[in-house]
């Protein structure tokens, strides 16, 4: 994946060092913000109350909190492939992306496992192209590389060109439209209530995406239907 809004890499330590494995994981890192590298301390805490922060960023050990994130705003987590000498772990929130990189790949399973025990399992589809459908007002992200994350009942899209989360919504109803050109159109909830939440996701392998959502429907009993491309175009285009 391309660089995101916050890129953290191992600094003084080759792996995270836990304060108390049952309650917190903590590491000194270099954080990339606004094109510059800055040393930071990142901590992940076990949540005790709903509004408690699960991820905290400080300028230095024991210093004041610079940024913090609560579980109720979490979208998803995912592992990435090696990038240079870093092994990143990406955590996304509706408005922010935190990317923590480690010098040792062995560090990732411990952090990922700790987060999953706090936040639950996540399912990921990455490297998609996001475009708005031609017959509705333009979406804010035309033709940008994006990642699609599904965790719990939330559906989140990360725009890697703009380095931010561009969409996050409850996955209560999903309508998929297949197209001859290997693209998929996806809408959330009811189009009459959310007309702007209708755009296409294009992939090199639309078949894999279809398979994924079919499995997702079986596992989580999600409501969605699939319509042929031409039928959808004619019905939506004349609405």
CB 108 within 8 Å of CB 89: yes
What is the three-class DSSP state of 218? helix
The full length of the chain comes to 239
- Give every strand in the sheet of 173-178, ordered side by side: 164-170, 154-159, 144-151, 122-132, 198-202, 183-188, 173-178, 223-228
Q: What pLDDT score was predicted for residue 12?
A: 32
Task: State the pLDDT confidence band at 205, using cuts at 50, 70 and 90.
Answer: confident
Q: What is the mean pLDDT of the chain?
A: 68
Return the CATH fold of 7-120: PH-domain like (2.30.29)
Task: Quickly count: other Cβ atoms within 10 Å of residue 193's Cβ.
Answer: 9
Domain boundaries, the chain: 7-120, 123-237
Q: How far apart are the first and last CA of the chain?
A: 38
Residue 237 Cα distances to 13, 133, 135, 201, 232, angstroms: 57, 10, 6, 18, 8
C-alpha to C-alpha distance for 147 and 189, rounded to whole angstroms: 20
User: Residue 105: is its pLDDT beyond 70?
Assistant: yes
CB 56 within 8 Å of CB 68: yes
Q: Which is more confident, 123 or 113?
A: 113
64-74: pLDDT as tens digits: 999 888 877 77
Task: Quickly count: other Cβ atoms within 10 Å of residue 170's Cβ.
Answer: 11
- Distance from chain centroid for Cα 167: 10
CATH top-level class of 123-237: mainly beta
C-alpha to C-alpha distance for 157 and 24, rounded to whole angstroms: 28
CATH topology match: 7-120 vs 123-237: yes
Whether pTM exceeds 0.85: no
Q: Which two tokens stand for residue 238?
A: 């004349």
Residues 6+ apart with CB under 8 A from 151: 74, 75, 76, 77, 119, 120, 121, 122, 123
- Distance from chain centroid for Cα 44: 18
What is the three-class DSSP state of 19? strand
Task: State the pLDDT confidence band at 14, using cuts at 50, 70 and 90.
Answer: very low
């Amino acid at each position: 994946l391309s660089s995101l809004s916050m890129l953290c890499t191992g600094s003084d330590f080759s792996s995270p060092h836990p304060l108390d494995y049952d309650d917190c994981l903590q590491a000194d890192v270099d954080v990339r913000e606004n094109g510059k590298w800055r040393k930071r301390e990142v901590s992940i805490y076990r949540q005790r109350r709903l509004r408690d922060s699960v991820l905290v960023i400080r300028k230095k050990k024991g210093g004041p909190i610079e940024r913090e994130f609560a579980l109720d705003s979490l979208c998803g987590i995912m592992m990435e492939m090696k990038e240079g000498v870093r092994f990143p772990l990406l955590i996304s929130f509706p408005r922010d992306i935190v990317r923590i990189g480690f010098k040792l790949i062995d560090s990732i399973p411990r952090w990922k496992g700790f987060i999953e025990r706090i936040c639950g399992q996540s399912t990921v589809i990455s490297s998609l192209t996001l475009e708005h459908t031609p017959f509705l007002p333009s979406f804010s992200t035309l033709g940008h590389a994006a990642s699609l994350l599904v965790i719990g009942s939330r559906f989140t899209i990360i725009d890697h060109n703009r380095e931010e989360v561009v969409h996050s919504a409850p996955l209560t109803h999903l309508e998929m439209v297949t197209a001859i050109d290997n693209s998929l159109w996806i809408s959330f909830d009811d189009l009459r209530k959310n007309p702007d939440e209708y755009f296409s996701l294009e992939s090199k392998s639309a078949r894999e995406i279809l398979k994924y959502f079919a499995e997702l429907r079986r596992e989580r009993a999600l409501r969605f239907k699939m319509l042929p491309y031409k039928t959808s175009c004619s019905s939506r285009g004349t609405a």
